[in-house]
Amino acid sequence: MADNNSGFFANPLVKWIEYRLPVFSTLDHMVGSQYPTPKNLSYWWNFGSLAGLCLVIQILTGIVLVMHYTPHTAMAFDSVEHIMRDVNYGWLLRYMHANGASMFFIAVYIHIFRGMYYGSYKAPREILWWLGLIIFLLMMATAFMGYVLPWGQMSFWGATVITNLFSAIPLVGEPIVTWLWGGFAVDNPTLNRFFSLHYLLPFVIVGIVILHVLALHQHGSNNPLGIDTKGPQDRIPFHPYYTIKDAFGVGVFLIFFSFFLFYAPNYLGHPDNYIPANPLVTPEHIVPEWYFLPFYAILRSVPDKLGGVLLMFGAILILFVLPWLDTSKVRSAKFRPIYKQLFWVFLIACIGLTYAGGQPPEGLALVIGRACTIYYFAHFIILLPLVGWFEKPLKLPASISEPVLKA
Amino acid sequence: MAGTATQKAGTEPTRRDFIVVAAGAFGAVGAAAAVWPFIHQMNPSADVLALSSTEVDLSQIAAGQSVTILWRGKPVFVRHRTEAEIELARKDDTAALPDPQKDADRVKKPEWLVMMGVCTHLGCVPLGQKGDFGGWFCPCHGSHYDTSGRIRKGPAPLNLPVPDYAFLNDTRIRIG
Ligand code: HEM
Ligand code: FES
């Protein structure tokens, strides 16, 4: 094995290293010429690597921000302003990090919806799907704690409201909240521990991403047709075909990112976070960052404290059992006439939730929020199991290359 | 003690099985004990716990006015209630209350309402003299409190809590 691999590479230095430490062959099997990939992947398959790119950007910009940031209630806000005004390119690095978080969520949300459309969560990819959801949960925790660090009004009140969610748990709720805070309110101990965890969790995410990729390679990528590859005629090597396609995607994505970074760096943020935290005054209208809005809408659409909290967490946890709620054996929505339509209605419900989450919880927004919340859960609990039984799928092609060769 | 590796089908557990299980259990208890400091360090430290108290001078607060004091990192409302507010609060003792409590049980002197300014839903600071019941209104998710600080409408489950406080004399209280 080791002999074979070191023979595979031409460069003598690479050969010499490979013979002792098989890094090059490992990489080649991960994302290189030795990773066979379905030949029909569309641009929707770019978002996994884009999410990985975002993670790298967050870690690099985060590490250099920490060189100038001070995690103390008396100094945090000023140290972020110091980064913005005094540190060389500090404004760029901070805007990269703040907008990078939004870009990360855009990539991951598209990646998740891609998985839903093409049935990528179905056997044998259930654990792959779970690992993705764990990454999503860790990302949310990381982004939430990062948003607390600048210690503005939204930082403080966001932290207060979100940690208070745990007070809804019967009996142990209050002690848990005190434990999270390290005091009787969000204060310096809270800021310190959030800083520690905000630094740690991205590296935990890196670890889970490695497992995610390992699980992916066990059965290979799904594809727009949702059928298994049947032989070499259905596959092409990852390198150079998809490395170049991913690289092109990176270019487009960076242009999109740069638009926000250079022309609208505060568009996705909230102006109140440029006001220092004040524990005596809650901002008139507190909203989380855009990527939390759907879940915030679900929380607020229930007029009961515990019920709202349970439903909000349930909205994510239900995704873990999606592989079993969807009873259809056909993966891709291309061949599922009814599911295909339900997918788009579901997407609209999610957009409705995002809208409702950003409005004050009254009037029409509250009605929209409630209707979309009901639909969100009905989609998973009622529609998916039923459609799997009643829908008559279209005829699947015999292989990925068959329709192409016939044409 | 069934099912350890050395046990063969149909034989009695051996002394070795016992040692394996006992050692494993001992190790598990030891590990659990070692985890506790790592968990407990997140609880409030001694300086945070050290009883803090705050005194408030009431003589400057006219009827119909309130002040907000920071106590243990949280706001406390001290309101000099008007006659009308007191009357309304007492009248509502018999209304349908999500968290039933008499106005008299929430005050030491009827004209002075002292309570935490922390919404029992998710912890925002409610706005004074707003909402459907003339008391407080929490803008975060729409909870309405009455002139006694009792929850009347919205997602909050409980009345605004009354902290420990004592009248030092007619115009001074100590909170905590
Ligand atoms: C999963 C990856 C990460 C995400 C999603 C994330 C997200 C965020 C967010 C949303 C903020 C608030 C930005 C603002 O409004 O100012 C923030 C701030 C911050 N983050 Fe991260 N972050 C990540 C990784 C990291 C890492 C690895 C580090 C350190 C090594 C770090 C260090 C910081 C620092 C020092 C701040 C405060 C300065 C500031 O507010 O700009 N972050 N992060
Ligand atoms: S925090 Fe007051 S209503 Fe939610």
Q: Which ligand is nearest to the CA of A154?
A: 1
pLDDT for A20-77, tens place per residue?
999 999 999 988 999 999 999 999 999 999 999 999 999 999 999 999 999 999 999 9
Using a cut of 0.80, tell me whether the model's pTM lies above it. Answer: yes
Distance, in Å, from the CA atom of A159 to the CA atom of A190, rounded to the nearest integer, reads 9
pLDDT for A62-116, tens place per residue?
999 999 999 999 999 999 999 999 999 999 999 999 999 999 999 999 999 999 9
Mean pLDDT of B33-37: 93
Task: List the single residue in A with minimal CA-CA distance to B137.
Answer: A284
Q: What integer pLDDT is reported at residue B8 of this predicted model?
A: 56
pLDDT, averaged across chain A: 94
pLDDT of A301 higher than 80: yes
Which residues fall within 8 angstroms of residue A325, CB to CB, at 6 or more apart? A318, A380, A381, A384, A385
Task: List the single residue in B with minimal CA-CA distance to A182.
Answer: B44
Q: Which residues sit opposite B144 in a β-bridge?
A: B137, B153
Q: What integer pLDDT is reported at residue A403 of this predicted model?
A: 74
The tokens for B134 are 């003339």
Q: What integer pLDDT is reported at residue A31 of this predicted model?
A: 87
Q: What integer pLDDT is reported at residue A3 of this predicted model?
A: 46
Q: What integer pLDDT is reported at residue A2 of this predicted model?
A: 42
Q: What integer pLDDT is reported at residue B51 of this predicted model?
A: 65
Question: How does residue A304 score in pLDDT terms, banded at 50, 70 and 90?
Answer: confident
Q: What integer pLDDT is reported at residue B13 of this predicted model?
A: 87
Q: Which residues sit opposite A406 in a β-bridge?
A: none
pLDDT of B1 higher than 60: no
Q: What integer pLDDT is reported at residue B77 of this predicted model?
A: 95
CB nearest to B70's CB, from A179, A183, A280: A280
Pick from A346, A336, A405, A31: nearest CA to A209: A31
Distance, in Å, from the CA atom of B74 to the CA atom of A151, rounded to the nearest integer, reads 16
Strands A36-38, B134-138: parallel, antiparallel or unpaired by DSSP?
unpaired
Higher pLDDT, A284 or B44: B44
Query: Of all residues in chain A, what percent carry a pLDDT higher than 70?
Result: 98
Our answer on whether the CB atom of B140 is closer than 6 Å to any ligand 2 atom is: yes
ipTM of the complex: 0.81
Distance, in Å, from the CA atom of A273 to the CA atom of A148, rounded to the nearest integer, reads 10
Residue B75 with chain A: CB contacts under 8 Å: 279-280
- Please report where in the chains the tokens 């062959």 appear, as a residue: A25
pLDDT of A407 higher than 70: no
Residue B125 with chain A: CB contacts under 8 Å: 280-282
Residue B48 with chain A: CB contacts under 8 Å: 182-184, 187, 189
Q: Which ligand is nearest to the CA of A83?
A: 1
Question: Are A325 and A119 a contacting pair, CB within 8 Å?
Answer: no
